[in-house]
Structure 1
Amino acid sequence: MGLDLTVLALDWGRLERTPLAGLPGLLHEAACPEDPDPAAAPEAGWVFPASPKVPWCGRYEFSSTTGSYAPHFWAGEGWDAARGFADPALRDALDGFLLPLVREESDLPGAGLLPSDRTPWGMRLLLVGPPARVAGLAAHWARAQPLLEGLRTEYDRHAARPGGSIADFDAFTVLLREWAVVVDEATRRGWGLLGLPV
């Protein structure tokens, strides 16, 4: 079984005021609410609140990834292969937007939010974005988005992986645009983001 990714938008002030001992349980509840409605259609996009027990948190369900972390990883690999052929303005903007979202980092800002890196159910942080960092990601996206189409030919020439989860430029941009939805909504609310492997 591969690694999954669940992205939460959170009222950062409430998050920081939550006692550390109870935080893993609340985050797990937000990522995987108890008693889901078995008759409900699969969710896609934002779910607010993520759980009635955590009303200061929303959960984003990526429609293009079925919850797997793998497409995010392969988007990062694709960008690594194509970035040297990108217009410098796009390269700078996409580096600032994409790499903090799809790369695990050893020095995540705010990594002390949890009592330990690992809990019995495997919680570790794949993404930590306090509100100021998320607003910075939104600014990078605003610069990258109008230039993105100019990457199509070079991406498909140097980074396409037919049959893979990020097979070509179109699949790459679908995932980027979903991340833009995540970042824009968190920025609009003045909230931060966490990525969890559940």
Structure 2
Amino acid sequence: MGVGTEVLIVDWPRVEATAPGDRERLLIDAAFGEVFSDDLFEHGWSWPSQPGEDWYGRYAFRNSMGSYKPHFWAGHCWDHVRDFVEPKVREALDRFNDALFWHGLEDTTGVGSGLPQRPCPWDADLLLWCPPDHVPVIAEWWRQAAPRLETVREPFTQHAAEPRGWIPDFASFADLLTDWGEVVREAERRGWGVVALRC
């Protein structure tokens, strides 16, 4: 089936107040406890309702069925289209994509997020570890790119569309980016960080 992922925004001090050896279990319980749904077509936020559990939210991406593959393929498509995108949009999306799901873009393009690399001090199997001080920077890249996202449609259709893939067309690419934009904006609003668990 491949790699799955669950994306959470979390109150950082709440996680770090937990004993290091218990943090992974805390995050797994958050992702797969009260807020988890078996609905493969679920989309959007799930929030806990239990008292004292208001330290996290879970986000389900459109048409992903919990798989990491759409995120990987969106990055792969971006590699094919980025050279044909207007420079300001390309710069913002390079950084946004690299920070969230297409890590290592700098190795191939010379342009990455530029955010400082910090090893995750949590003993947890994470695909993404994004502390709260990174979130406003990433959200600002989204604010720069979002109004101009439609300019990517034509180059995407010409250079990256794959009708039988996880990201078959521009609409699915834009949906995935827009969902990530929602995640970072809500995390920014709350002063929280973002994590993606490997499942």
TM-score, normalised relative to structure 2: 0.85
Matched, 1:192 2:172: no
After superposition, give the CA deviation of every residue in 1:94-115 in whole Å (9 maximum; x if it has no partner).
011112211356x96351122x
In the superposition, relative to structure 1, how do residues 52 and 66 fare at CA in structure 2: closer, same or farther (>3 Å)?
farther
Distance in 1 (alpha carbons) for counterparts of 2:41 and 2:160: 31
Name the counterpart of 1:21: 21
Name the counterpart of 1:157: 158
Name the counterpart of 1:112: 121
Residue identity in the other structure for 2:144 = R
Shift in Å, 1:159: 0.7
Measured on the aligned residues, the alpha-carbon RMSD in Å equals 2.5
Distance in 1 (alpha carbons) for counterparts of 2:99 and 2:16: 21
Shift in Å, 1:170: 1.0
Asked whether the 8 Å contact 1:8–1:57 carries over to 2, the reply is yes
Name the counterpart of 2:3: 3
Distance in 2 (alpha carbons) for counterparts of 1:72 and 1:149: 19
Pairwise mapping of residues 117-136 of structure 1 onto structure 2 (< 5 A)?
Answer: 124-136=125-137
Name the SS for the 1:111 alignment partner.
Answer: coil
- How many residue pairs are counted as aligned between the two chains? 188
Name the SS for the 2:196 alignment partner.
Answer: strand
Asked whether the 8 Å contact 1:126–1:195 carries over to 2, the reply is yes
Distance in 1 (alpha carbons) for counterparts of 2:165 and 2:55: 36
After superposition, give the CA deviation of every residue in 1:90-144 in whole Å (9 maximum; x if it has no partner).
0110011112211356x96351122xxxxxxxx5111111111111110000000
Name the SS for the 1:113 alignment partner.
Answer: coil
Name the counterpart of 1:30: 30
Distance in 2 (alpha carbons) for counterparts of 1:25 and 1:127: 16
Pairwise mapping of residues 75-154 of structure 1 onto structure 2 (< 5 A)?
Answer: 75-104=74-103, 109-114=118-123, 124-154=125-155
Runs of 4+ in 1 over 6 A off after TM superposition: 34-38, 50-53
Residue segments in structure 1 that go unaligned for 5+ positions in a row? 115-122
In the superposition, relative to structure 1, how do residues 35 and 78 fare at CA in structure 2: closer, same or farther (>3 Å)?
closer
Distance in 2 (alpha carbons) for counterparts of 1:152 and 1:34: 38
Percent of paired sites with the same residue? 42
TM-score, normalised relative to structure 1: 0.86
Name the counterpart of 2:68: 69
Asked whether the 8 Å contact 1:33–1:51 carries over to 2, the reply is no
In the superposition, relative to structure 1, how do residues 46 and 36 fare at CA in structure 2: closer, same or farther (>3 Å)?
closer
Residue segments in structure 2 that go unaligned for 5+ positions in a row? 105-115
Name the SS for the 1:46 alignment partner.
Answer: strand
